[in-house]
Structure 1
Amino acid sequence: MGQLFSRGEEPLAVVNGSSDKSLWSRNLEHILQERSTQYKDKPAVIFPWQGVQLSFRELHDRAITVAESLLRAGVHHGDCIGIMAGNRYEYLEAFVGGGLIGCRVLVLNNTYRPWELEQALNRTECRILFLAPTIGSRSLIDHVNLLDNTSNRSSLPSLSQIVFFGDSPIGLTFKHQNYDEFKKMGVDVCECEYSRPIVQPGDIASFQLTSGTTGEPKVAMLSHLSMLNNARFVGQRLSISSNDVICCPPPLFHCFGLVMGFLAGVIQGATVVFPSDHFNPSETVDSVLKHKCTTLLGVPTMFIAELEMLQSRNQSINTVEKGLIAGSTISQTLIGRLNKGLGLTYMAIAYGMTETAPVSFMSAIDDALNKRTETVGRVMPHTRAKIIDSRGRTVRREERGELCVSGYGLQKGYLNNEEKTREVMKLDKEGVLWMHTGDECIIDKDGYCRVTGRIKDIIIRGGENIFPAEIEERLISHPLISEASVVGLQDSKYGEVVACFLKSPLSEGDRPKTAEIQDWVKSVMSRSKSPQYVFWVGTGGICEDFPKTGSGKHQKHLLREIGNRNI
């Protein structure tokens, strides 16, 4: 495993996950078949907004029907199929059905504009696109029209047809079917043996497009083995059992919803509830209450919106025992609010990236409170992590540097992009392949990881490195601030200075003054870290809401643009 101590036996920032339990060498069908036999008619997934509930057996049987329909449509092992839709039962049937025959399932960000959809389909040589005509109140007719205009095959030569979840738009010239018609092709043979391709655990299960907060999104290639084992370990660390009912508002196009929600639930025999096709705090609260959910997933902004919804209704929830947050640590203040409003006694933090399928670090139930609020937990099983400096040398514990991750979860690279793959996936002198995350982190003496920010987001003020995440943690601990994002803005004297974008549950006139915010930060941090500029987000603020990716992350490059235009 390499030398872990040097320079007077001081520990280096290298950690190795447990290997007590062997990695699974299985594909998606192995898991679905086992769970279908084990849990039979127990609800596997519930979609309240569609009025649909599928048992483990029904999910498996329906997926087999989709798989046979795909084969009859001329799709083969290794071909790509795409899905662009909100969280709906057809999404899961198509994803699993594709997996049963070795398709590479492209899960498309449901916020994509028409040209982004066309680009993604072209780059992945997608054969069949499953498409919802609407997501929430948003129509995708412009996306449909663009695809219809490319029916001369010059732009999308691989795309053979579109399958609509719901009614097909009128007047299309491109080959298309609605979902029910498509599935009829596989109904006649779904109960008998037919020749399905052999799917290996190492085969690619999914094409996942990176969020693309800067530059063109890349297509990460994730295998059955990496996604299923990651989902398994997430469920175990969260102590999910077959008695749990998981409420999963995060989108299925993101690893949070697909791996940490759906697959983790299926593997552990739990029931997973998808309250709406896109995040809706009211429908989420309704689903938790109706189905007595024991576990709630989300990013911090989702939990805050749910708390505000409960407060506006003068309601409370008492069934939720545990939660899982991804993408950010959580303040003790917010944990207190979640405990009071949701009855939530345990909150886990998960850290990872699409390219690692996704979770590399995660907190556990028995972790101390400060470890659950200040860190992203310890390394996951069968995963190795280290912190390196700018010259590639492993640093010591408690020192900052870039986090690198190795193990089973690593992507198979970026599709048709060897240059970008080589930039982030590098072999060390021992021949170990590492994913360079681009995140600046610290591994403490106990092996817990603290994310201090994206390396590219570090603010350099007069030669001093300032880490936004630290300031954001302080701001969020203010009782009148519900959301915060810190960026560096241009400055003629210092090069960059600190600016913060804040959201508050209070109305415009009742929000804290700039001086109060500055003093709040200065009371525990140096003056240089106190925000020179304070912008409010929301009614009467600099913008209506934080610009976000489809998975809910703040787009800091856009915040910097907004801030620089307004100073």
Structure 2
Amino acid sequence: MRWELDWLENRARLSPNKKAIIDEDTNKSWTYREINKRSSSVASWLKAQGVNKGDRVALLSPNDISYFDLLFACGKIGAIVVPLNWRLSVHELNEILQDCTPLLIGIHQQFQNMYTPLEQTISKSFMVGGLEYEEIVNTPIEYKHSQVLSEHDPLAMIYTGGTTGKPKGVVLSHQSIQWNAINTILSWNLSEDDVTINYMPMFHTGGLNALSLPLLMIGGTVVIGDQYTGQKVVNSINRYKCTIILLVPTMYHSLIQSDEFQESEFPSMKIFLSGAAPCPLQVYDAFQKKGLAFKEGYGLTEAGPNNFFIHHEDAQVKHGSVGKPMLFNAIKLAKEDGQDAKENEVGELLIKGKHSFSHYWNNELATMETKKGGWVHTGDLAKMDEDGFYYIVGRKKDMIITGGENVYPLEIEHWLAAHPMVDEVAVIGLPDEKWGELVAAFIVPKHFYTIEAEELSEYCEKKLGRYKIPKRFICLKELPKTVVGKIDKKKLKEISIHT
């Protein structure tokens, strides 16, 4: 085996007694030596079950140390770990299992009731989180490397959310995951003194690859969180002296409204990061008022997910910017005609780097559509200002064309979110015979306040061109969210039909 691929083994040698992982709920911790021993024992056990290079090992679990056990164990063997989204229906999970055909699946004891409905698709399974699993990870068996591995060999397969169709298995190689970590460490100046708490679901690239693996590679500490609340995150940040954290905008939305956020000074924190979706500007304002460093990032399962860096001082001036490309990746903006977008012109965001995905599992056509000439075509629209700072405008598929004019929902969402009586907002395009599409805004009012459409329309006239002003305002008690906290615009279209 090429030893540079098993970087955990090397980190355990360099930092054997350093605390690597902590479980928030139990406060149990593991050193790097202990983490490597666990994964070595799991690798030996997997081999005894017949798992070999290229075989898939699935995991259905809440945020738990077993994610790291299996990821690092599969890395030693050359197998592919497939984390499963436990929030999906049994039908959806069975579809994924039929697609990736795992040789073995680990099911956390919390999800024992899901075993029988999945049994028809599962060949072999084992229970995670109980005494039987602890016997496996604590059996002192050193794994003997017998496979010759390449950095291009697959290590993980993460299925996309599937809000626009059937989920696709995004295959990430050793190279993809390692270079995302290296790029992040160097571009974001991470160090062994950094501590994060991870509430992002670990079946998602944001939970595994955004901060967890980069911090473990550099020798930092990762606290595994599970059930998120604003009160809980503040207490845990201060308890574990966290220095950096990644949350999605919906999490920040609840955090800044909590009493704990208002009362805490967060003495250990260096930076708060937001990802997965563009962040409302009032979140920036809340952190700026407290003198706390806050900024946004951008990524996707197919690339990174880390691609940009912005200094927190620049983020205070360049609200909404994700910054500039990191050290080891390239960015390009392509217009509809294939030409590069100029300053302040909108184009599709293309990404190139060793951190990009290998291919979609069993889907050559989708791979060819997404990877062209070495560039990952993200489907996201962005622009670059005169200082070289990038801004995400929105999804290409979400752009609204009304009366021949292009409308970017994010611009309208930012303005409506600044209304004093608006708690949350989402803007989409709906089919219309006259305009082709009409602009529709879904509003969650604050404190059960009633906002009339006329009031919101007049408010929009202060800032937006007439063709951008929503022709429909629909008030909801809450906005539907995807499993990773993004606003589910597909469900909003379904809601619009019945309102």
**TM-score bin (small chain):** over 0.9
Amino acid at match of 1:29: D
* Structure 1 contact 228–259 (Cα < 8 Å) conserved: no
- Of residues 458, 466, 469, the one that matches 2:410 is 469
Aligned to 1:127: 103
1:308 maps onto 2:257 in alignment: yes
What residue identity is the alignment partner of 2:141?
A: V
Q: 1:195 to 1:267 in 2, by over 3 A?
A: closer
Aligned to 2:57: 81
The answer to which of 228-237 and 124-133 deviates more is: 228-237
SS across alignment from 2:147? coil
One-letter code of the match for 1:180? E
**What is the aligned partner in structure 1 of residue 170 from structure 2?**
220
Any idea what the Cα deviations from partners look like across 1:83-138, whole Å, max 9, x if unmatched? 1111111222122112221111111112121122112122112111111233xxxx
Which amino acid letter does the alignment assign opposite residue 262 of structure 1? S
1:94-113 equivalent positions in 2, closer than 5 A: 94-113=70-89
Counterpart amino acid of 1:382?
F
Structure 1 gap ranges (5+)? 1-24, 151-155, 168-176, 428-432, 539-544
> 2 CA distance for matches of 1:497 and 1:140?
46
- The answer as to 2:483 corresponding to 1:550 is yes
Which one of 254, 258, 277 corresponds to residue 328 of structure 1? 277
What is the rounded CA distance, in whole Å, between the counterparts of 2:271 and 2:398 in structure 1?
Answer: 31
Structure 2 unaligned runs (5+)?
A: none
Q: Which residue of the other structure, out of 456, 466, 474, is the alignment partner of 1:535?
A: 474
Corresponding residue of 1:161: 124
Partner deviation per Cα, 1:142-173 (whole Å, 9 max, x = no partner): x311123x1xxxxx4xx442121235xxxxxx
Aligned position for 2:182: 232
Residue 363 (structure 1) aligns with: 310
**Hey, what does 1:337 align to over in structure 2?**
286
> Is the CA contact (8 Å cut-off) linking 1:36 and 1:60 kept in structure 2?
yes
The whole-number CA distance in structure 2 between the counterparts of 1:361 and 1:26 is 29
Distance 1:498 1:45, change over 3 A: same
Number of residue pairs the alignment of both structures matches: 498
Letter in 1 for 2:311: A
Equivalence for 2:390: 449
SS of 1:354's equivalent in the other structure is coil
TM-score between both structures, scaled by the size of structure 1: 0.82
The residue number in structure 1 matching 2:348 is: 402
Match of 2:134 in 1: 180
One-letter amino acid matched to 1:132: H
Give the 3-state SS of the residue equivalent to 1:106 in structure 2: strand
How far the C-alpha of 1:442 sits from its partner, in A, is: 1.3
Whole-angstrom CA distance in 1 between matches of 2:482 and 2:5: 28
Matched, 1:294 2:243: yes
> 2: CA distance between counterparts of 1:188 and 1:331?
50
- The alignment partner of 2:259 has SS state of helix
The code of the aligned residue for 1:477 comes to A
State the distance in 1 between where 2:144 and 2:191 align: 34
- Relative distance call for 1:384 and 1:161 in structure 2 (3 A) is same
* Residues 273 and 287 in structure 1, CA contact (< 8 A), matched pair in contact too: no
* Higher RCO (C-alpha 8 Å, min separation 6): 1
Mapped to 1, the partners of 2:257 and 2:270 lie a distance apart of 19
Which amino acid is 2:198 matched to? Answer: C
Please report how far the alpha carbon of residue 363 of structure 1 lies from its aligned counterpart in structure 2 after TM superposition: 2.1
Determine the C-alpha separation between the residues in 1 that align with 2:235 and 2:476: 27
Fraction of identical pairs, as percent:
29
CA contact under 8 A between 2:234 and 2:261: conserved in structure 1?
A: no
- Does structure 2 retain, via aligned residues, the 8 Å contact 1:77–1:103? yes
CA distance in 2, matches of 1:48, 1:484: 32
Give the corresponding residue for 1:414.
360
What value does the CA root-mean-square deviation take over the aligned residues? 2.4
Contact 1:323–1:346 (CA under 8 A) maintained in structure 2: yes
Choose the corresponding residue for 1:486, options 424, 427, 436: 427
| Residue 383 of structure 2 corresponds to residue 436 of structure 1 | no
Deviation at 1:62, TM superposition (A): 0.9
Three-state SS of the structure 2 residue aligned to 1:222 is: strand
Q: Cα offset for 1:252? A: 0.9
Structure 1 residue 313: Cα displacement: 9.0
Match of 1:279 in 2: 228
Q: How far apart are the structure 2 equivalents of 1:111 and 1:288?
A: 26
